[in-house]
Structure 1
């Protein structure tokens, strides 16, 4: 086993340990488990009051005309359905109904219709809101219990303003119910609808308090900017109507209680697991010890005192001189002198030698084959070429290899002018070894083609 094999073994062992740790950590934390590991749907009920102004200033068309019109609260209640897409953002469908009120504290009947008070009935209001959570991450707590948010959306509301002659909402002086055209045009006549439609943009802020894994208390304030200059009925000016509502309610998270609500999820909470979970901390310490032990083992396996590329643990011949070529056991490889291919006095030719698993002639064989070719041309005699192989590989493979070696010699002689009909080339595989196949020196001698005249 060389150093490369040791290194690969060590890496594989480290990966197995790391995967085991990751699997356990994922089972506990699911850091990158996606939205499926959380509860993301919720419904809410809310109720509150309305006022005919917003905190950013400005006046409505009805109250601007006379300086004495004051806020009077109206009721407002509704439902919400929300899908949370991350710890920062969700989409909410909100529906409400109620009323908006204002009156003249001076008691005088003024304005376009000599009205002293207004009550706008909101039959329904529906909007799609983007909810942006502003305080989800709490670096001081493992779990969040308070969540600040802001929202903005777009919606449509159906409303009908009624103006009264006194501040106590008596003596109707303006009521267009039954005459609206029901379109988003603001026209007051030409139809038979009880309510007119207007678009509006809700902008609000709020805070949620986690009461349990299912229930949260929701408190908020929303400013509603409409495109309706008749939100408070007919007036001498053309201001776009606006109103605000303050609300409180309960929000219920849907889904299995075994999952955490994404609304209150802290995305950095898993960073605290190692500090808060003793079992995980103990496992981390055990893993560190295993890694340390593995590193020590790798150091021992890779130690090579004589620098021959074979670690001391597997070196059967320690202390080999520097630069010595060794085998897999760290022992020197002995290279035998090649058999010289010369012509013997009685006409015998030494075998043609080949490299391991090769049928390519060596250049040192050319001189012998050139002499043999000349002799065969001059004497018009024939020759038998018998190919052999050493014992590596299967019998069938070595038989074909021995035939290829014999044919390689034959082809050289034919190219040198010897008639092919005078040459016999056969392969005998591992048969008739001239030396033992147990050593490399013997195997070198068995890779041959014998020349028989």
Structure 2
């Protein structure tokens, strides 16, 4: 096998390996089909058949005549296979064969031509031929049938064969032996010339390319029929002859393939992904799981609705509302109950020494509440009628810094003063002063107490 053979063999090996690993990686990817673990993926096969020189692609035999299919003699060929299926599309197969290849000068093909040894026929003894093949399955996806019973495939690979050609002087392998180099092949494994040595067979590389069909006989056994063309880079496959001839031969075979593993698992070779997908989508357990999930979602939605329901519109859900019938717009605490403020006391005469209840404010705000308007309107009327003076003391709760709260309390006092001035009270009769966090009327440790401390006191 010369340097050109080595290069071509390496290229073929790289191609097969790349295809194999690509398919293997794809098969390892999680899919709806559950992965290879649920299938039987190993198988062994036995096969037997015949060989013919040449191939259906045409060409000529080593004697220079055209070779047609079955035109030359047929030889016996048999062997075994071991295959690992990586997906429903691809597998790797180790194949081993042995047998004979026979050829001769056929008168129909043209005039008989003898080589330098006077040979007109040859028989090649193939001691063994081993190859690693990538097998591509072509008929696994089937939309019409749930189960595949017939599967077409194509294969390509690379291999090595050990052979010894014997040439005869007769056309029917019945003449005298004119060439037999058995026991004389050289020690150089990759040599392709005669040399003194002790090898019975010479080694050469070959590339098998074939097609076939498998018939499923049972869950374990399948009938395997196929045709393979074997292309070598050996111009002495049939012995000395034309130096420009690269030997090739074909094999037609039939055999049985046995799937290994538990019968409880499906054979990946004949699995139909379409049927598998359909079964998984229609799986009662999957449907029950979906229904259970829907029920859980429905229960969760009901719980959310229950937690968010607020019948009286006070901003506190019914589940946590301790005062469920609070009128809309009422200020409530975290439990949904109204916040109680001191009742405003309005004096009949602003000069009587009595004072109005404090004017309340929201957190961090100096804006008057609308509910304070009626109280201030009454106060403004009495001040105008009596031409009296009033003092406004502004306060804040303890949130924030002292300086900030001092300014906030002053703004609150001025907001009340401005309202009274706008209502007709003389500005000179109203004194507004801010005292910040001083003089709290309730504890600043609770929100209820802080609400009462955000105020403006009205004094004579």
Q: Shift of residue 80 of structure 1?
A: 1.4
Q: Distance in 1 between matches of 2:212 and 2:68?
A: 31
**Alignment-derived partner of residue 441 in structure 1:** 448
Matched, 1:180 2:185: yes
Q: 1:329 to 1:216 in 2, by over 3 A?
A: farther
The normalised TM-score by structure 2 is: 0.62
Distance 2:331 2:256 in 1: 82
Confirm or deny that 1:317 pairs with 2:324: yes
Pairwise CA distance, 1:124 = 0.7
Shift, 1:240, TM fit:
0.4
Decide which moves more: 267-276 or 288-297. 288-297
User: 1:163 matched to which residue of 2?
Assistant: 167
- Contact 2:396–2:408 (CA<8 Å) still a contact in 1? no
Q: Within 1, Cα distance between the matches of 2:208 and 2:324?
A: 86
Aligned position for 1:98: 99
Alpha-carbon deviation of 1:367?
11
| Match among 260, 269, 294 for residue 275 of structure 2 | 269
Contact 1:46 1:78 in 2 (8 A): yes
Aligned-pair Cα RMSD in Å: 4.2
Return 5+ residue gaps in structure 2 as ranges: 1-29, 343-359, 362-393, 410-436, 455-460
Q: Which runs of 5+ in 1 are unaligned?
A: 1-28, 339-349, 369-408, 413-432, 448-453
Equivalent position SS for 1:61:
coil
1:50 equivalenced with 2:51 (yes/no) = yes
TM alignment of 1:27-426, pairs within 5 A? 31=32, 33-64=34-65, 70-106=71-107, 110-112=113-115, 113-170=117-174, 171-181=176-186, 183-273=189-279, 277=283, 280-281=286-287, 284=290, 288=294, 291=297, 295=301, 302=308, 309-311=315-317, 316-317=323-324, 320-321=327-328, 327-331=333-337, 337=360, 353-355=397-399, 360-361=401-402, 363-365=404-406
Counterpart residue number, 1:391: none
SS of 1:235 mapped into structure 2: coil
- Deviation at 1:246? 1.1
Q: CA deviation at 1:320?
A: 5.0
Distance 1:319 1:42, change over 3 A: farther
Q: 1:195-241, CA deviations, whole angstroms, 9 ceiling, x for partnerless residues? A: 11111100111122222332222221111000011111111452101
**Count of aligned residue pairs for this structure pair:** 345
Partners of 1:74 and 1:101 within 8 A in 2: yes
The secondary structure found in structure 1 opposite 2:133 is: strand
Matches of 1:160 and 1:83, distance apart in 2: 32
Distance in 1 separating the partners of 2:312 and 2:61: 96
Query: 1:88: Cα distance to partner?
Result: 1.6
* 2: CA distance, partners of 1:362 / 1:270: 76
Does structure 2 retain, via aligned residues, the 8 Å contact 1:69–1:103?
A: no
Task: Name the TM-score, length of structure 1 as normaliser.
Answer: 0.63
Q: 2: CA distance between counterparts of 1:245 and 1:68?
A: 11
Shift of the 300–141 alpha-carbon distance from structure 1 to 2, 3 Å rule, reads farther
Q: 1:200·1:224 contact (CA, 8 Å) conserved in 2?
A: yes
> Could you tell me how far 1:325 is from its partner in structure 2?
5.9
Per-residue deviation at 1:83?
Answer: 1.8
Measure the CA separation in 2 of the matches of 1:215 and 1:231.
36
Deviation at 1:250, TM superposition (A): 1.8
Between 256-265 and 438-447, report the one with greater CA deviation.
Answer: 438-447
